[in-house]
Structure 1
Amino acid sequence: MFPEYDVIVVGAGHAGCEAAHAAAKMGAKVLLCTMNMNTIAQMSCNPAMGGVAKGQIVREIDALGGMSGIISDKSMIQFRMLNRSKGPAMWSPRSQNDRMRFAEEWRLALEQTPNVDFWQEMVSGLLVTDGRVRGVRTGIGLEIPGKTVVLTNGTFLNGVIHIGEKQFGGGRTGESAAKGITEQLVGLGFEAGRMKTGTPPRVDGRSLDYSKMEIQFGDENPEKFSYSDETQPLTEQRTCWITYTNKEVHETLESGFDRSPMFNGRIQGLGPRYCPSIEDKINRFAERERHQIFVEPEGWNTVEIYVNGFSTSLPEDVQYKALRKIPGFENAKMFRPGYAIEYDFFPPTQLKLSLETQLIQNLFFAGQINGTTGYEEAASQGLMAGINAARKVQEEEPVILKRSEAYIAVLIDDLINKGTEEPYRMFTSRAEFRLLLRQDNADLRLTQLGHQIGLADDRRLERMLDKKSDTAKLINDLRQKKLSPDLINEGLEDMDTATVKEKISVEKLLKRPQVGLKEIMDLDNDLKVYLSKYSKDVLEQAEIQIKYDSYIEKEQQMVDKLNNMENFRIPVHFDYLAIPALSAEGKQKLNKVRPETLGQASRISGVSPADLSILTVYLGR
C-alpha cells in the first residue's frame, strides 16, 4: 500500500510542518502523519509569532529557506518590533496572527510542495531492527516503511488535560492523546520524563468593555519576518489592549487553590518558568498587587479573544468569577476555560547535534518532545531535523550550526549539552554572541548555507548578495563623505552632542550615541537625496555595522578563538572511561553526551576546565 519513504514525519505542528517542507524541498520523498488533517499547524496557545529572541529564530528559519516567516507574514494582523529603545542586539520582531489563516496557509503551502504525502491516523509505534528505525506502525496496524523518521509529537504523548479536579486524556482540547510510542522508546533504552504547559481561557470579544483598557497599537511602519519578496508589510492592523488583575482577582483565584491540580499534587510535570500560570504568579509574587493581561484578537474577523497572561488550570467556575473582576471583563462571556496539559518528553541529552538519537540510527526528535516550549523553538528544531534526515538519506554530512552563527544553534547546543528540567525557552541572554546574531542580519548569516543545501532558492541568494554588496558600498561612501561645521553644528547642538571645528566624516558622526542616519540626513539635503536610492534594510545594516563596529569586532575575535575548539574533532568511539585523570563526573557526562568536538565538550555541565585540559592533552596525542 505504501512505498518506502525517505522521511516520515510524525506530527504536523510547527516542528512537523517545517521538517516535512525542508526535507521535501531538498528532494526527499516525505510522508507527513497527523491524527487530524484539520489541525495542521494549529496555534494551540497564543496566536502570535516571534518576540524576544524568538523573532530572531523566525528570521533565521526564513533565511535558511524555511516557511515560518512567510506563513507568519501572510496571516499577520499586527506587527511590533520589541525593544526598539535598546541596542540592535535586543530588537525582536513579533506578530499577532490570525489563528485560522495561519493554519490554512501552512496546509496550503505543504499541499503545494512536491514530494509531500499525507496520512491521517495516529502513529502508535516505530519499526526498529538492528538499532535502526525502518518506518512506523499506525493505530490500525498499518506498517509504513521509511528510511528516516522524525518524531514531532508536541504535547500528545500520553497527554493528560487538567481543569481543576477534572482530568482526562488528550493532546489538546478536543483531541486524543497519542499512546504507544513512549512505552516502546523506554523499552529500547530511552529515558523519558513529564512536563507541563498551560493555556488561558478564551472569551467573546463582544462582551468586553475596551474603554477600561489601554490600547496597544502596532508599529506605525510595520515590517515583516521574511527576507523574500513573497510577502508585503501590513497596510492595516488590528489593535490589542492591556488591562490588569487586582487584589479582588487574586483573592478569587486563591479561593480555588485547594482544588488546583498545581497545588494538590496531581500535576507532576514541571511547567515553563518564564510563562507561569496566573495562580503560580500570584503565589510566587505575593507582594505584587497586579499583573498585566494582554487582550489579543484571534484573527481579522473572529470575535474570539486570547487572554494572554491568564494561563490557568483552576476549576472553570473560579476562572469565570476571577475573569469578571478584571477591568473591562465585568460582563465577559467565556468560550472555553483554560487548562494545563501534562505530556511525555525525552531529555535531549540523548540526541546528537543533528537531532538524531544516539540509541537508534535514522530516528530524529524535534520540538516539545525535546523539552522545549514555544512555536519558534519547535519550528527551528523541525527545520534542522528535516534537513538532517534528508541529508542522512542522501549520504551527506549533517548540517550543524555554530553558536556564533544562529540562535537555532544556541538552542540545540544548550539542549544537548545541558539538558533541561523545565520547558526550555529562548532568550537573548542565552547567546554569548548576540550582537552578531541580530534579527536584521539573519539572511547575511544563513542564506548562503540554505542555498548550498538546496533549501533557499536562487532569488533569495541574489537578494542577500545584493544587500551585502550595497551595504559594503554604502559604508565605504559614508567613510569618504565629509560634512562641514557650518552645515551641521547647529543640528549637533540640538542633538545635545559636541560641535566640530573641521570637516568630519559621516562614519565618525554615526559612532556618536545621539546621532543616527535619519538625524544626519536632516542636516544635509544632498546626502538625503543620495541615501534615498538605498533600501531601508541596507540603510539600517550600514548604520548598525558602523555604530557598533568595535563591539562587533571584539565578538568576532571571541568567535575565532572558540572556532579553534570547535574544529578540534573527537573520534566517535573515544573511550573517556580509559582516562584515569578525568573526574568521575566528567567521565560520566562526556560518556553520556558523546561530544563531537572539544568546543562542545567545554559546554557540558559537569565537565570542569581541568577535565578539558586533560582531554586536550589526550586528543593531542
Structure 2
Amino acid sequence: MADVIVIGGGHAGVEAALACARLQKETILYSMHIDMIASMPCNPSVGGPAKGIVVREIDALGGEMGKAADATALQFKMLNTTKGPGVQCLRVQSDKLAYKAYMQKVLLAQEHLEVREMCVEKVIAEDGVVKGVLQADGHMEECKALIMTTGTFMSSNILVGHTSTPSGPDGEPTTNNLSQSLRDLGIRTFRLKTGTPARVLTSSIDFSKTEVQPGTDAFLCFSHETTNIRPFKEQALCYLTYTSPETHRIINENLERSAMYSGLVKGVGPRYCPSIEDKLVRFADKQRHQIFLEPESESLDTTYVQGFSTSMPHDVQEAMLHSLPGLENCVIKKYAYAIEYDAIDPLQCKPTLENKRIANLYTAGQINGTSGYEEAAAQGLLAGINAVLKLDGKEPFILRRDEAYIGVMIDDLVTKGTKEPYRLLTSRAEYRLLLRHDNADLRLTPYGHTIGLISDARYENFKGKEQQIIDCLEYLDTVRFTPKSTVNTYMQELGYEPLKEGISAKTLLKRPKVTMEGLAPYLEKTFAPAIAQQVEIEIKYEGYIQKAKRDAAHLRQMDAVRLPEHIDYQQIQHLSLEARQKLNEVQPMTMGQASRISGVNPADIAVLAVYLEQLKREDHKNES
C-alpha cells in the first residue's frame, strides 16, 4: 500500500509528488506518458503578474518550480517596474523542452517516489474514505491518501471549427472513466474550456516588421537557491506585433465557423485569457490587439503566437496568421485548438484542498477550475503538504489571504467557487502590498522549514538575511546628515533644496526619488542589493504597510473564530435565505471564511456570532 498516490504528472502533480516523497511518504505518481511529465502544452513561460510572486512563494515553501524555471530560462524580465512594488513581478521565457527534462530528472531521482506509466480508470472509496485507484490493467492500488491533479485530461475534447475529437492536450489520450467515478461518489463536475495558439516556424517570420521585447539586464531569479550562473550566454528576444484590419475582417466573417460561436463549446472559457475571436466580439471598439512572439526552445525552430488562441478551422487560421505584420509568409508548425474538459466544483474542497465528501481525497490544479502552470503548482504543493500532515495526525497548513497569493487563490476557490477558469490577478489580493515579489521568502520560509521542505542550511541563510535587514534599518536610523554634509550634492541633483537641519538617512529615504543606491556613496556601510531593496521598500511604504497589517489583523481575528463542522444552517433563525443556502454549501471553517462567501452579508455574520455564543453557553451548562 502506498502512503500517497498522485494522479497526473503536470505542474500540480509534480509538486504534490515531490512534497510527499520529500516528507518521507511512500508515493506513487501516475502519468500516462513519463516523457510528457511537466510539459508546457500552452505558453512556454513561467511567472507574470501575480503568478511570478506565486512561484517565489512555492520556492519559499520548498517547492521545485522556481529552481526549474531559473535553470531552464531563455529570458528573464521584471514586469511593472514603473509601478509600485505591490504589482512588480518576474516572468521568464522558458525552454519548454529543457524545463520538462529538468523536472523529469528530479522526479525520477527522488527517494520514496515511484513514477508509474499507467492510466487510472477509477477512484475507489468506501464509507466516505478513499481506498485507492483502479489501474487500466485492472489492478487496484491501495493508498492512505489520494491527490488528483488531472489537469485538462478528464473527458476532454479537442475543438477545431465544427469538429470535436476526444483527446487530451498535444494529442495525448484522455481519461473517459475517471470523472464518472467521481460523480458516482457524489462529487459534482462541470465543463470548462481553454485553448492554445498556433506555433509557427521561427525561420519563416520577418521580425523586421515587429517590435523587439528584450529581457531585463539585472540578475533576477525565482529561487533563493539559484546562483548568479545563467543557463544562457545571451538572453533570447521576444517580439511584439499587432492584429491588423485584415485580421479582424477574416475573423468577423468566419465567426460561425469557430467552435466558440458555432454552439459546439459547452464549457465556460477563461475571462482573462480569451480566444482572439472572443476578444474581437467583447472589445469591438479596439482597432488592434497585441500579439507576442515567443521562442519555445533553443532546440526548436518554433515560435509561440501569444494572444492568438483560437478554435477556427485550419484554413481560417492560416489566413488569420498571414494577416499579422511579420507573419505574412509564416509556416504553421502546429495549429491552434480549444479543449473542453471536466473539472470539479471547488466549493466541495476544504481550505486544505481535501474533498468534503470523501476523506483523504485531495484535488489540485485545473481539476479545481483554475488555469495556469503556477496556480496548479501551488495547489499541488499545498495538497501534498496537507495530505502528509493529515496522515501524520498534525494540524493542517492553511495560508491566510494576508500571507500569500496562494492563500488568496485557495480561499477564493473554496469560499466563492468559480464558474470559469480561475486566474490569479494582483487585483484579487486586498493585501498585495504585503504580498510582494521581494518578501516571499520572509513571509513563508519559516513555514517551509517547520514543515520539513526547507533544509536547516537554507534556513540558517534565511535567518542571516533577516538579521541583515534589521541591522540595515537600525544603521540607517543612526546615520545623520547635517546641512554641511556632502549628501546635499545628491539632493540637489534630484531637485531638492539643500538640507537646513540634521536628518537621519532613514527619514531622508522616505522622500520621493531618494534611493538606497543613490545614498550608498554617502554611507560608511555597504549592503547587498537584495537587502537594500527590501529596506528601501519597507521605509518608503511604511505607512501603507502598517495600515495593511492593521487591516489584516482584523481578518486574523475573524479567522481565529472557528465554526463547528456540519452545521445545519437551515435551522438557524434570522439568517437570510441566500445565506442559509450558501453557508450549507460551503460549510466554512471560520467566521472569516463565512464573511467572504458571496451572498452572506454583515447581518448574517452578526446572527452567526449570536448562534456561536449560544452554543458556548450550552456547552458550559453541559460541562457543569
TM range (shorter): over 0.9
1:471–1:542: 8 Å Cα contact kept in structure 2? yes
- Report the number of matched residues: 612
Match of 1:573 among 566, 572, 586: 566
1:345–1:368: 8 Å Cα contact kept in structure 2? yes
Q: What's the CA shift for 1:498?
A: 4.1
Match of 1:554 in 2: 547
Query: How is 1:303-382 mapped onto 2 (pairs within 5 angstroms)?
Result: 303-382=301-380
Match of 1:182 among 168, 179, 182: 179
Measure the CA separation in 2 of the matches of 1:229 and 1:100: 20
1:496–1:514: 8 Å Cα contact kept in structure 2? no
2:162–2:262: 8 Å Cα contact kept in structure 1? no
Tell me whether 48-57 or 551-560 shows the greater mean CA deviation: 551-560
Measure the CA separation in 2 of the matches of 1:90 and 1:69: 19
Q: What's the CA shift for 1:464?
A: 1.3
Question: Which contiguous aligned blocks of 4+ residues in structure 1 show a shift greater than 4 angstroms?
Answer: none
Q: What's the CA shift for 1:51?
A: 0.3
1:585 maps to a residue whose letter is: E
Q: Deviations over 1:175-202 (max 9, x none)?
A: 1111112112112211111000000000
1:561 maps to a residue whose letter is: H
Q: What's the CA shift for 1:494?
A: 2.3
Name the SS for the 1:243 alignment partner: strand
Name the SS for the 1:440 alignment partner: coil
Match of 2:596 among 596, 600, 603: 603
Match of 2:4 in 1: 7
Match of 2:460 among 462, 467, 487: 462
Tell me whether 299-308 or 36-45 shows the greater mean CA deviation: 299-308
Match of 2:482 among 477, 481, 484: 484
1:162–1:341: 8 Å Cα contact kept in structure 2? yes
Match of 1:500 in 2: 499
1:33–1:121: 8 Å Cα contact kept in structure 2? yes
2:197–2:305: 8 Å Cα contact kept in structure 1? yes
1:570 maps to a residue whose letter is: L
Measure the CA separation in 2 of the matches of 1:326 and 1:570: 56
Match of 1:271 in 2: 269
Query: How is 1:117-516 mapped onto 2 (pairs within 5 angstroms)?
Result: 117-229=114-226, 232-233=229-230, 236-486=234-484, 487-516=486-515
Measure the CA separation in 2 of the matches of 1:14 and 1:28: 19
Measure the CA separation in 1 of the matches of 2:272 and 2:219: 27
2:61 paired with 1:64: yes
Tell me whether 180-189 or 438-447 shows the greater mean CA deviation: 180-189
Q: Deviations over 1:349-368 (max 9, x none)?
A: 00100000000000001000
Name the SS for the 2:598 alignment partner: coil
Query: Structure 2: which 5+ runs fail to align?
Result: 615-624
Match of 2:621 in 1: none
Tell me whether 342-351 or 166-175 shows the greater mean CA deviation: 166-175
Match of 2:536 in 1: 543
Tell me whether 226-235 or 100-109 shows the greater mean CA deviation: 226-235
Tell me whether 608-617 or 234-243 shows the greater mean CA deviation: 234-243
Tell me whether 174-183 or 570-579 shows the greater mean CA deviation: 570-579
Q: What's the CA shift for 1:253?
A: 2.1
Measure the CA separation in 1 of the matches of 2:79 and 2:235: 16
Q: Deviations over 1:527-554 (max 9, x none)?
A: 1x621xx221111111111111111111
Measure the CA separation in 1 of the matches of 2:499 and 2:413: 52
2:563 maps to a residue whose letter is: I
Name the SS for the 2:439 alignment partner: helix
Measure the CA separation in 2 of the matches of 1:306 and 1:103: 17
Measure the CA separation in 2 of the matches of 1:164 and 1:459: 55
What is the CA RMSD across the aligned residues, in angstroms? 1.2
Measure the CA separation in 2 of the matches of 1:44 and 1:357: 27
Measure the CA separation in 2 of the matches of 1:603 and 1:620: 21
Q: Deviations over 1:169-228 (max 9, x none)?
A: 111121111111211211221111100000000000001111111111100113010012
1:582 maps to a residue whose letter is: L
From the superposition, tell whether residues 411 and 453 of structure 1 become closer, same or farther in structure 2 (CA, over 3 Å): same
What TM-score, normalized by structure 1, do the two folds share? 0.97
Q: Deviations over 1:7-32 (max 9, x none)?
A: 10000000000000011111111000
Tell me whether 194-203 or 494-503 shows the greater mean CA deviation: 494-503
Name the SS for the 2:573 alignment partner: coil
1:15–1:381: 8 Å Cα contact kept in structure 2? yes
Query: How is 1:108-123 mapped onto 2 (pairs within 5 angstroms)?
Result: 108-123=105-120
2:584 paired with 1:594: no
1:82–1:94: 8 Å Cα contact kept in structure 2? yes
Q: What's the CA shift for 1:459?
A: 2.0
Measure the CA separation in 2 of the matches of 1:584 and 1:282: 40
Measure the CA separation in 1 of the matches of 2:568 and 2:496: 61
1:436–1:555: 8 Å Cα contact kept in structure 2? yes
1:74–1:231: 8 Å Cα contact kept in structure 2? no
Tell me whether 491-500 or 359-368 shows the greater mean CA deviation: 491-500
Q: What's the CA shift for 1:393?
A: 1.5
Q: What's the CA shift for 1:380?
A: 0.3
Measure the CA separation in 2 of the matches of 1:251 and 1:577: 55
Name the SS for the 2:170 alignment partner: coil
Measure the CA separation in 2 of the matches of 1:283 and 1:565: 43
Q: What's the CA shift for 1:230?
A: 6.0
From the superposition, tell whether residues 258 and 574 of structure 1 become closer, same or farther in structure 2 (CA, over 3 Å): closer
Measure the CA separation in 2 of the matches of 1:75 and 1:515: 36
Tell me whether 546-555 or 477-486 shows the greater mean CA deviation: 477-486
2:511–2:540: 8 Å Cα contact kept in structure 1? yes
What TM-score, normalized by structure 2, do the two folds share? 0.96
Name the SS for the 1:198 alignment partner: strand
Measure the CA separation in 2 of the matches of 1:302 and 1:497: 53
